[in-house]
Amino acid sequence: MKWRKLGRLYAPDGSMPWAQASAMLPTILSLGDGRLRIYVASTDENTVGRVGYLDVAEDDPTRVLAVAHAPVLDIGEPGCFDDNGVCPCSLVEHEGRLRLYYVGFQLHRKVPYTLFTGLAESEDGGASFHRISRAPILDRNDRELFFRTAPFVRREGGRWRMWYIGGGGWITVDGQTKPTYDLCHAESEDGVTWSRDGQICLEPRGDLGEFGFGRPIVLHEGGRYRLWYSIRSPSGYRMGYAESPDGLQWDRRDAEVGIGLGNQGDWDGEMICYGVVQDTPAGRFLFYNGNQYGRSGVGVAVLDVP
């Protein structure tokens, strides 16, 4: 693979109180009328995230057509798992509705924060979403005490599969407390109630300085599963790639991911993460975040075909 960067698409200009900065975790919906809707999380002055979107042209995703003026999903009620931020992660159409699997943030006193998975639905084609539960659909278990999050969901026949980030530990990196987490897998019969204990299917390599993964995207092509994910180390995130015959046992091929950091001083010169692959009539595109976990905005690259 070789991705050719087309530049940064969008970063909030600070004109809206709920969207002062960031465009995290781009999550794509094809509207069927020549537009792609890219859901992102933008943050207010207190770094609390809410879900908005930008619309781009399907035949030229560098062309921004519209930007949401209000959140399509707001934070949860005080004390709930998502009361300090929500981020989009995965969209699935089901029985005439659009399901949004999202990350919920909550701050704590004795650990910095927790991240669990919520579910919201849209009945108006993605113009707005409402929660189906105020509680997380993927909650803590004995091994994954603090993180069961960043879900990617797909339906395969009569079952639902989810790849997500799970963990229950912390380490100190350069004087800061950082989480540790693995890539995990869970299954469901209805996409709402999930297996309580997920299966670890990929662990960070401590010998390389890795301590976590971020935001998996899984495609099934040519009889194999293909995984794009983010690899966390003390220097930040970079993109990785792996393949699998079953979606459980992964062969890491990070050297084949085909995209890296931009030049020093660029919006993606320090970090590149949270990529999502989208096919269009104009080609295959990778939408991704740059520095500071997306605080610098969202950009796009196109796959060069030999």
Spans of the chain below 70 pLDDT = none
DSSP for 223-281 reads TEEEEEEEEEETTEEEEEEEEESSSSS-EE-GGGS------TTSTTSS--EEEEEEEET
Give which of 153, 214, 219, 215 is closest to 186, Cα–Cα: 153
Q: What are phi and psi of 114, to 5 degrees?
A: -130, 155
Taking only the tens place, the pLDDT of each residue in 36-67 is 999 999 999 999 999 999 999 999 999 999 99
Tell me, what's the pLDDT at 175? 87
Residue whose tokens read 């104009």? 282
Residue whose tokens read 């809707």? 37
List the domains of the chain with CATH numbers.
3-303 (2.115.10.20)
Q: Residue 98 contacts by C-beta under 8 Å, 6 or more apart in sequence?
A: 29, 91, 92, 121, 122, 125, 126, 129
Regarding pTM above 0.85, the answer is yes
Q: Could you give the 3-state DSSP secondary structure of residue 54?
A: strand
Which two structure tokens, joined as six digits, stand for 167?
A: 């963990």
Spatial separation of the C-alpha atoms in residues 155 and 189, rounded to whole Å: 10
Asked if residues 241 and 226 have their Cβ atoms less than 8 Å apart, the reply is yes
